[in-house]
Structure 1
Amino acid sequence: MDKEQLKLNLEQRKWAYYSLRNDLHVIKDKLHNIKNNRGHSPAFKVLSSALDVFQEQVDRDYYRYEKRIGSRINNDIAMELQQALNRERKLREQLESKVKEASESSGLFIKYVREKLKF
């Protein structure tokens, strides 16, 4: 996938995770409203703990996904930079060989002229 598609997928996933996190927060608020009026039963405490754990898991999943996509985008950028560097190295090598050839041929020409003119 290209970088734009990855960023679009990341934004869509971001909103899905935020929506789920928001829903969990609303459920937890409703649970606390009921809990304040009914007392502190073990079932409410277990459900509250389960919602906390689930909310943490959602956060960890999103951050892991975000990190993986970011790494993939960075790897694509690094690959493009490496390819550009390789192209520049190849071009530099070609230019260096032409400069060497030109210096050798000009040196040979000067040597030829000196031999003919007996310098």
Structure 2
Amino acid sequence: MSTAEIQAAVSAIYAQQVNAEFGKERYALFLKPGTYGTPDKPLLIDVGYYTEVVGLGRSPGDVVINGHVNVYNRCLTTDAAGKPSNCIALDNFWRSASNLTIKVAGRVDCQAVTNFWAAS
């Protein structure tokens, strides 16, 4: 799959799972050994509830993501300007990432140089 196809698939899963705290769906995103995304066209994986991202190599260095694998705080409301508000990280333990290397790329401001994993 191309990076664009992978991005579309993971974004669709995230859109479904971002608020599925007690949902019935479960997802595992398995990545074969290789490099995904580039510094110029990063792969940005936001991980929702009941989703895991797994590298299938022998070691974490066998699967490299140029981009992000993030779990953000869940924002329950928006303010009058449409910006997220009432953001919490109370049950982020129903998701995981394992056996891969993340070379942070993409995003802006404080997200440009770090991967973000909100924890309960």
Report the TM-score range of the alignment, normalised by the length of the smaller protein: under 0.3
TM-score by length of 2: 0.22
Question: Which one has a larger percent strand, Structure 1 or Structure 2?
Answer: 2
Question: Which one has a larger percent helix, Structure 1 or Structure 2?
Answer: 1
Specify the structure having the higher radius of gyration (Cα).
Answer: 1
TM-score by length of 1: 0.23
